[in-house]
Amino acid sequence: MNMSSEGAARSYTTTIHYYDGSSREALVTDQETVFPRGELIVSQTDARGIITTCNDAFVLMSGYSKEELIGAPHSILRHPDMPAVAFADLWETVQAGKRWHGYVKNLRKDGGFYWVHAVVIPKIRDGVIIGHTSVRREPSREKIAEAAAAYAELRAKRGMD
Ligand SMILES: Cc1cc2nc3c(=O)[nH]c(=O)nc-3n(C[C@H](O)[C@H](O)[C@H](O)COP(=O)(O)O)c2cc1C
């Protein structure tokens, strides 16, 4: 991990590990983008979590262009502070045909972050999951603090997540 403290934002580069064993190097800063008041961040994915549509608020908050997002896996937003077990729970829940909700810290393209309260709903046709819809709204500061503490504890327990 390389720490630097140039300018206002503290930043470091780290390796983000994915469930499938792949990884990528990413810049992470302590710069928060606050949720746009009254907006919802919406996306749809195929059955594997590849983004098929997203709204303008998603583009704005993620820092990626729409072209970069469509066709990319949702894990493009994975923040290293998120414990893997949170996503294991998400996938287990939607694969059982149920809706999942939870607090997620997302990583922007520029290394900054934003917190969301996400609801993920599986789309089921004739008993088969054909995709998912996710709608995210602004979490309260209190819930963000609670989720951040819970995730830090989970990550400390699991070590590598
Ligand atoms: C509809 C939907 C929305 C998702 N939204 C996010 C998200 O906003 N941020 C995120 O990190 N992962 C999100 N995920 C979970 C990712 O697919 C992925 O599991 C996670 O980023 C961790 O990566 P990994 O499973 O490859 O380890 C979403 C999944 C689905 C199906």
Query: How far is it, in rounded angstroms, from Cα 111 to Cα 27?
Result: 5
Average confidence (pLDDT) over 110-117: 98
Average confidence (pLDDT) over 46-64: 97
pLDDT of residue 158: 72
Q: Is the pTM of this model over 0.85?
A: yes
Query: How far is it, in rounded angstroms, from Cα 37 to Cα 77?
Result: 21
Residue 132: CB within 6 Å of ligand 1? yes
pLDDT higher than 50, residue 118: yes
Pocket mutation for ligand 1, best pick of 46, 61, 74, 99 (most atoms within 8 Å of C-beta): 74
Q: Per residue in 87-100, pLDDT tens?
A: 999 999 999 999 99
Residue 108: CB within 6 Å of ligand 1? no
| Region of residue 101 (phi > 0: left; psi between -120 and 50: alpha; otherwise: beta) | beta
111: CB partners within 8 A, 6+ apart: 11, 26, 27, 28, 29, 31
Q: Per residue in 8-31, pLDDT tens?
A: 668 999 999 999 999 999 999 999
pLDDT of residue 157: 84
Place of tokens 């704005």: 60
How many angstroms does the Cα of residue 90 sit away from the middle of ligand 1?
Answer: 8
Q: In what order do the strands lie in the sheet with 113-125?
A: 51-54, 41-46, 128-137, 113-125, 100-107
Among the ranges given (8-22, 66-80, 94-108, 115-129), the one the predictor scored with the smallest mean pLDDT: 8-22
Instruction: Calculate the alpha carbon distances from 81 to 42, 92, 94, 147 in Å.
Output: 22, 20, 22, 11
Do residues 64 and 33 touch, judged by C-beta distance below 8 A?
Answer: no
Do residues 13 and 111 touch, judged by C-beta distance below 8 A?
Answer: no
Residue 62: CB within 6 Å of ligand 1? no
Which domains, from first to last, does the chain contain? 35-158 (3.30.450.20)
pLDDT of residue 161: 46
Average confidence (pLDDT) over 42-57: 97
Q: What number of H helices and E strands is found in the chain?
A: 4, 8
